[in-house]
Every structure is written in C-alpha cells, then in structure tokens.
Chains A and B, each alone.
Chain A
Amino acid sequence: MMRFFYAAMMAVCAMPAVAQSLDPSSMLHRDVKAWPTYSGDYTGQRFSPIAQINTSNVKGLALAWSQKLPAEVTHTGGVGTTVAPLGRVSGSIAVVDGVLFVTTPDNVWSMDAATGKVLWHYQWKTRGGTHIGNRGVGVWRDRVFFETPDNYLVALSAKTGEEIWHKEIASFDLQYFSTMAPHVVGDHLLVGTGNDLDEPGMLQSFDPRDGHVEWAWYATPMKKGDAGLETWASVDASSHGGGNVWVNGSYDPETHLYIFGTGNPSAAFTSQLRGPGANLYTCSTVAVNVDTGKLAWYYQTSPHDTHDYDSAQTQVLVDGTWQGKPRKLVMTMARNGYFFVLDRVTGEHLLTSKMFASTNWAESTLDAKGAPVRIPAKDFDFAGALVSPSTQGVVNWQPPAYSPQTGLFYVNTSETWEMFYLTTTDPRGAMGLGGEQLMNLPSNGGWLLAIDYTTGKPRWKHRYPGVTGGLAAGVMTTAGHLLFAPDIHGNLIAYNAATGRQLWHQHIGASNAPETFVLNGKQYVLEAGCDTLYAFRLP
C-alpha cells in the first residue's frame, strides 16, 4: 500500500506564460488542442479527430513525461477538519491552453501539459463522506469548478488555483456525496449528486458566476402530482427513491438536451415498499432541457431494478444510420448487461442487445418498450440466488467510446456473478440496499467489445488473459484508426480499431480513460495510472 503523509508545505510555483480561459461557445466545436469537457466534446464519443499518431507509427509512441501527484499544497479551502487521502485519478483530465486540470476527491492540480510540472494544487478540507472517486473539473472562462465528496461546488481561478467561492449543493447529513465533473453548457454548470442511503438523486444547474441555483431536476417524483408517481407506492417511497446522478452524460446542442443516466432505486434489493411499478425515473437514460430543467424524454433500461444495476453510464451521441436512413442516435451499454440504441430527439427505442449469454436476471423476451423483464425469483432467496451480472455490473462508470470511422461502439466489460441472499431488513439500511447479503463469485473474464450498433452484436472482441477478470478503465478512439484501451492488468494498449490487432502497449497501472490533444504541433496521449500521470508522443 502506498502512503502519502501530508506536510503543510507551501510550494512556490512559477505561473505559466499562457492564460487559461475557455469560452463556453468554443465547446460546440472540436478543438484538437483541448480536452475541455468530460468526454473531450459534448458527444460522449471520446473520438479525437487527431490522426498524427496512427496504425503505422503508433509502435514508436514514447513517454514524453510522467508526474506523480505531489502532496504540496498551494491553496487550501474547505469547511471540514479532515484531510483525506490523495486518492487516485479515475476521472477526466481537462486540457485547456496547454494546461491540465487533474482531480482526485478533494484535490485539484494544475499542470503544464508539456512537462507535467505542477502549477498549483488546491486541497479541500472535508467533513468526510464517501471518497470513492472524482470525475474531473468543468472549465468555464477563467474558472474551474469541481464537486467535493461532502457536497460543495467549488469555483477556482484556473490560473492561480485560488478559491473564488464555494457553495453547498446537497445535505451531507442525509449522506449525499458528489463525484460528477461539473458539465459546462453555455453559462450553465450542470452538477449531479449521488446518495448511497435513500435520498433522491438530482441534477442541478448553477450559474457559474455566483453559484446560484437555476433549476433542480429530481430523478424521482418528490410530491403529489409529479409525473411518474403512479409507478411508485407512495410519495414517501418515491421521494426516498434513489436514482442518483453520479457520472457525466452528454449534450446535444441541437435540442438543448443533456442526456444522462440515473442510478438504482432505493431500497435496492428489498423493493416491496416501492410498490410493484417501474419506479421512474431510476435506472434510466433521461433527457433534460438545459435551459428549463424539464424532462424531455426518458427510457428506462432496468424497470423496477432489484439488483443495484445503476444506469449511470455515459451516453454516446451519434449521427448515424438506422435502417438505411440518417438518424440522430444515443447509445448506452448498461450495468445490467444490455446495450441500447435510442433516437436521441424523441427517446424512441430502437435496439436492445444482451451482451453475455450468462446474464440471467431477466426473461429471454423483452417488454413492449424493448426493456428487459426482471425475473422476480432472481431478486434474492434465503438460500441464495445465483445472479449474473453482479452488482458491479457488466460495465460500470468507466466510459465507452465510438469511432465514426468504424461505426463501432467500444467498451470494457466483465462477465460477473454474485449470490444474492435475503437477510433481515435492517431499518437503518445498508447503503440503502436493504436486507441483502451478497457474495461475490469469480468473474468469468474481462472483455473488450467492439459493438456494431446497427446489429447490437460485437464485430470483434478481445478476452483479457487469465481465468478470471475484472473491469478495466475507459477507452478512447482517434482518427488515426486507433483504439486506446486500458486492460485489467494495468496496460494501456493501442489497437487497430477496425480489427482489434494490438499495436502498442505500456504497463502503467492505467486507472482512467485515455485522452489526447495537440501541443506545439505534437499529438499527446495522456493516461493516469492511479497517482501518476503519463504523457506519450512520437519522438
């Protein structure tokens, strides 16, 4: 186990010559010199139009620099008394004007993208909370924003790291915790918050200037008369119903819709108090208008979930072809083991595809809306129900990618199993799960899938070696006909995106999705390995 010991050292850092500032309207167009938002652009494709590194020359990719995240603090803030561990990098790294913004829970570092040299490090003193991960910053003009595990939205000067303001975005006492990267859309700062007890998930829009709330969208009905209430037993059940928002979605500028996934309903397993209905809008892909905060459409991927199958995966927006005609699509691979294609303007369901034959919690036939139909006998059993996938899912937060060159959707997966036992319901709940004891069984392997969205079937797949396997971090595609994907053994691997042939690798303990940008005429590939950043380029 690696350990860091904090010293209250104040490092004096030279400021970079460049002025980091990002006009929000520039994010409507792909800038190869930047990775300004969670997925690099609004589509969620994690496809870069940069082709300098390609299938012919990728074997020469070499380390330009590496940088271990240092503990020296230049700016401190926070409202708590505790300095949490530095953690690992598992989110997106924003790249603007040759400067990187790297996060772990409570921490933001600014680094020179050419050298990895740390420009500043901001640290938030926390009240506590679940320190599981942070998905990155949002960049708006000359400010960066991030969420803390104890539910503050913090605005920092991009140039100096000095705090401009902070604002509480959810109750810590109600066991909320926040992980999402604030998503900048115009002058809206979209902020999601999660909860592992029994509170409702929500997406809020803040004004990046002063942090006032513009609107809040709750994932579940909060009062009498709210849409979807008929799918719950009562207002009490729905307003404690979960549906948490803890990972970034994607944005469609044409319709002004932010399209994202919601988490499982609460209590997750012993679902009787939720009523027999679908429990909207949990475990769903939802489209919310960024100007009004109103729901435009939803598609529920796990109606009445009983297995903790959050649908909080990043949606991929593609201007594709559907049955011979151009169509605006959204694709998502859900934790429950199914791949979905929808019309992203209307939410109309187009395709559902089961990825592994072993997925056994649902019937072999789909419901009228194309969603899987749960088998109640697979909810749990006193003596144990054998369920695949496990609560970890076939996929989790690790982002997928898409390449318009191949028409393939790429995602790391794991074929998992778990025993679900019913135990006495503890009124305190256990992560809001309620009355369940789980026992992990070994995974049957980790796979990289390249899925043809028109059929929902893998065009090619790669099984990671070994008899079992976990879930590797997220992936990226580039116009060099490449797929960059971490594996379950810590390698970052470059594949021919069309064939799956492996062309290059580095063993760095990869822990987030790779990114790429152009700096001084050179294409860089950036990847985090737990507490260290690695930047690769051609010599």
Chain B
Amino acid sequence: MIRIKLSCALAVALLCVGARAQQGAVSHTEATHEAAPFGVVAYPDRPVQPKEVLDRGKAAYSVNCSFCHGADAAGGSVGPNLLRSEVVLRDVHGELILPIVHGARLAQGMPKIDLPDLTVADIAAWLHSLKTGGNMTPTEQINIVTGDAVAGKVAFTRRCAGCHSIDGDLKGFAAKFAQPLQMQQTWISPGVIKGPGMPALHVPSVTATVVSKGRKITGKLGAYDDFSVAITTTDGVVHTVALDNGVPRVVVHDPLKAHREMLPTLKDAEIHDITAYLESLR
C-alpha cells in the first residue's frame, strides 16, 4: 500500500458542475474481472438517494477522505472504519458528520476539511448507500487482555518500578481508560494516543540545555533543527540559539527516554502480561 505522512495541508475546493462523465476507452477491466457484489444494504432505513447525489458523494469522498479512511470507507492506516462508525450509523443527512469534517475532532487528529455543507451531505448519502458484508456491529472492541497478570507483575517490577508505583503515580491507572487497548498504548508510549475515552494525563515536557556565549540556558525545548534551537526558560522568554554542525551542543532531556529505549527489547509477551497486570488493578 502507498503510505506516507501528509506533511503539508491539503488544499480543499470542490467545483461540482454536474456534467455527465464521458466514457473513456475501457481496456483494463476486460483483462481483470468485474467487481463482486457485496452482501446487504447497510442502511435500509435511509431513503434511497438519486444516483447523481451518490456519484457526487463518492467522488468527493474519494478525493478528500479516502486516503485516511480507505477507498471503501472501511478504514485506512490512519482513519477509522466509517462503515462501523457510530457517528455514521446515527447520522441521517450529514448532520453529525458535518461538525467533525469542519474541525470538531482536531484534537483527535481529524483535520478540518473545508467542504461545503451540501458536499458533506452528498458524502453522507454515499456512505449510507454502501453495502457491507453483514457484520453490523457498530464498533468493534477487541479483547487485548490475554496476558498473565502474575507474570506481568514481575515484568512491571523489573521494567517500570524504577520510575512508577501502582500505589502512587499509577494508582487507578487502568480505570482511567475506556478500553484496555488505550491503556496499553499509553503505558508503552505515553501521550501519543489521543481521542475519546482518553484521560488527560500529565506527560512532562522535553527540556534542553545549551551553552551560548558562555551562558547556560535550560528550559522547555521548542523548535529544534540542525541550524537553531528554541528554548523557553521558566520566565517565559524564548531563547533562539544558532547551531552549526552540532556546535554549540544541545543536551536534550527527554522524560520519556526510558520508554523509547524500552521498545527494542520489549517482548510481545511482556506487553500482554504487563497489560493484564495493570488491568487486574482496575
């Protein structure tokens, strides 16, 4: 699959002229095969929309949404499965989808896409016209708690107890999460996963120290590339120091360094066991 991170914002504009698509010379379909039909209509209660609405919705979806949510709306590398999305299931005419498209879930990583309301309604109509394979479960929660809590306690003591305590900073940790999967993601890499059901955990900032013109500057690390570093000191002042081939040297203090360094040695069984242990304290 093609997968890259979209490092610059996609510009969005739609101009629907309603012209009927011309037919090009078909050559490839013969060489392969016709697409197979799929199961039942997912939304029998929704009014059937005219073909031109569905065509507009499909085209707008594929241009604006498919890279994240999959060409078939069943989920991609980044975006969730829309066929099983509770929002899509409850939405009727795009009224629940629209605010999300327009930025209501920025914090959860859903970009604001500047689509006209009518275009979002077209997309909703197309989503509701899709057929599924029959699995109508609105959301799927996989049971990831398969490990051994006793072994997990041993692993936790070895791996984690140097910095964390289940009676101290991790008291009630698992209970803060709607799903064990979110809890697992968080203990492996704190602060990475955001979204519904995620508690507001305190993840300490990365700090840095640099000595510039004889003066030692320590504070919160800001923009940092090979040519400058920005450090915000406790008085709120941003100090920008020019760098040249590693001089002056910037010493980074990463509070999650132990978590990052754990990744290469962490075994899957340990992950499952530690998760089971933390869940047992829920």
Chain A interface (Cβ < 8 Å from any Cβ of B): 1-6, 8, 79-88, 125-133, 151-152, 166-171, 173-176, 179, 194, 196-197, 199-200, 213, 216, 222, 239, 244, 246, 263-264, 268, 308, 310, 312, 357-358, 360, 377-378, 381-386, 388, 391-393, 396-397, 417, 419, 421-424, 426-433, 437-442, 444, 464-467, 470-471, 487, 489, 491, 493, 501-502, 505, 507, 509, 511, 530-531
Using known A-B contacts A428-B74, A505-B227, determine if residue A383 contacts B144 with beta carbons closer than 8 Å: yes
Find residues 4-29 in chain B having any chain A CB closer than 8 Å to their own CB: 4-5, 7-19, 21-29
Sample of 9 A–B contacts (CB below 8 Å): A2-B8, A82-B15, A82-B60, A129-B63, A131-B67, A133-B2, A174-B29, A386-B271, A505-B226
Using known A-B contacts A1-B111, A431-B71, determine if residue A392 contacts B17 with beta carbons closer than 8 Å: no
Describe B's contact surface by its main secondary structure.
Answer: loop
Write the nearest CB–CB distance from B166 to chain A, whole angstroms. 20
Separation of A388 and B193 alpha carbons in the complex (Å): 18
A3, A171, A358, A427: the one contacting B13 at CB < 8 Å is A3
Tell me which of A169, A382, A465, A531 has the highest count of chain B C-beta atoms within 10 A of its own C-beta.
A465
A80, A167, A171, A384: the one contacting B21 at CB < 8 Å is A80
B81 within 8 A of A: yes
Using known A-B contacts A3-B12, A511-B7, determine if residue A128 contacts B61 with beta carbons closer than 8 Å: yes
Using known A-B contacts A196-B71, A386-B268, A444-B263, determine if residue A168 contacts B27 with beta carbons closer than 8 Å: yes
Decide if B63 touches A383 in the complex (CB within 8 Å): no
Tell me which of A127, A128, A396, A423 has the highest count of chain B C-beta atoms within 10 A of its own C-beta.
A128
Separation of A87 and B9 alpha carbons in the complex (Å): 8
Using known A-B contacts A392-B5, A428-B83, determine if residue A85 contacts B28 with beta carbons closer than 8 Å: no
Decide if A80 touches B264 in the complex (CB within 8 Å): no
Decide if A422 touches B142 in the complex (CB within 8 Å): yes
Q: Which residues of B contact A213 (CB under 8 A)?
A: 27
Chain B, residue nearest A420 (CB): B268
Decide if B63 touches A131 in the complex (CB within 8 Å): yes
Decide if B264 touches A358 in the complex (CB within 8 Å): yes
Q: Which residues of B contact A428 (CB under 8 A)?
A: 38, 72, 74, 83, 132-133
Mask, B222-264, CB within 8 Å of A = 1, is 0111110100000000000000110000101010110010011
Chain A, residue nearest B75 (CB): A430
Tell me which of A85, A88, A310 has the highest count of chain B C-beta atoms within 10 A of its own C-beta.
A85
Write the nearest CB–CB distance from A165 to chain B, whole angstroms. 10
Q: Which residues of B contact A427 (CB under 8 A)?
A: 38-39, 133-134
Decide if B146 touches A383 in the complex (CB within 8 Å): yes
Write the nearest CB–CB distance from A103 to chain B, whole angstroms. 15
Chain A, residue nearest B72 (CB): A428
Separation of A80 and B58 alpha carbons in the complex (Å): 12
Decide if B11 touches A2 in the complex (CB within 8 Å): yes
Decide if B28 touches A176 in the complex (CB within 8 Å): yes
Decide if B1 touches A82 in the complex (CB within 8 Å): no
Write the nearest CB–CB distance from B138 to chain A, whole angstroms. 13
Tell me which of A2, A80, A430, A437 has the highest count of chain B C-beta atoms within 10 A of its own C-beta.
A430
Using known A-B contacts A81-B55, A197-B71, A465-B225, determine if residue A130 contacts B3 with beta carbons closer than 8 Å: no
Decide if A491 touches B145 in the complex (CB within 8 Å): no
Find residues 34-67 in chain B having any chain A CB closer than 8 Å to their own CB: 35, 38-39, 55-56, 58-64, 66-67
Q: Which residues of B contact A82 (CB under 8 A)?
A: 14-16, 56, 59-60, 63
Write the nearest CB–CB distance from A420 to chain B, whole angstroms. 10
